Amino acid sequence: MTDEEIIRLRHQINQLPTGNFHFPEIYGPDWDTLYIGDKVKRGHAFMNAVRAGKFPGIIDTGTKKGGGRVYQKIEKP
């Protein structure tokens, strides 16, 4: 995941309310134009970046539901 993509995704995340979301919600409208293999790669890269702490305030819930892995935006203290 490039620095530019991290910056873009952080901007998208800032627009979300606190609560659960799926990666395609923040990826943007181009998500539907990607090949399945590219979706898997980008989704996995996001999961790894979340787990590495590159998106403060975002946690991987460890569950999948209704469209893929569920992430959660938490309120910052």
How many angstroms separate the CA atoms of 17 and 72, rounded?
10
- What are the tens digits of pLDDT across the range 20-52? 999 999 999 999 999 999 999 999 999 999 999
**Given this model, what pLDDT does residue 8 score?**
96
Query: In this structure, what are the phi and psi dihedrals at residue 73, rounded to the nearest 5 degrees?
Result: -95, 125
pTM value is 0.90
Contact indicator for 19, 28 with CB cutoff of 8 Å: no
Q: How long a stretch of residues is the chain?
A: 77
Contact indicator for 18, 75 with CB cutoff of 8 Å: yes
